[in-house]
Homo-oligomer: A and B are copies of this chain.
Amino acid sequence: MVDVTDLTLIEQQTLLGIMRLHPNAYGVSIRDEIKLRTDKEYSFGSIYAILERLEDRGMIESRVGEATGSRGGRKKLYFTITGAGERALQASLNAMDAMRAGLKLKGAFA
């Protein structure tokens, strides 16, 4: 193991969230998106730790956003997925799909 392209579940979800929200993915919105779709509420500590780690590994890039104009709010740190991130995500999803293939599960796919 110890393969930088390996992704944990929450890393997969974070990458998917970033893609879904593009170009409006930042810490809080990513957390909200995951909560909305999976009903799982990660702490800020978790989300930001994962974002930092994914960026260190070259899976995502960040840029500091402009002032929003709306009440309050520190500047957002926007994230986008990189080519390497997309490839790693895809490989991870394919691996899961290979494990699922042909099994009778009531899930959406399968």
Residues of A at the B interface (CB closer than 8 Å) are 1, 6-9, 12-13, 16-17, 19-20, 34, 37-43, 89-90, 92-101, 103, 105-110
Contact = CB atoms under 8 A, between A and B. Distances in A.
A90 B103 contact: no
Contact of A93 (B13, B90, B98, B107): B107
A107 B90 CA distance: 6
Interface majority SS on A: helix, strand, loop or mixed?
helix
27 contacts: A1-B40, A1-B41, A6-B40, A7-B9, A8-B9, A9-B9, A9-B92, A9-B96, A13-B99, A16-B99, A16-B100, A16-B103, A34-B99, A37-B95, A38-B96, A38-B98, A39-B95, A40-B95, A89-B105, A90-B106, A93-B100, A93-B107, A93-B108, A93-B109, A94-B108, A97-B108, A97-B109
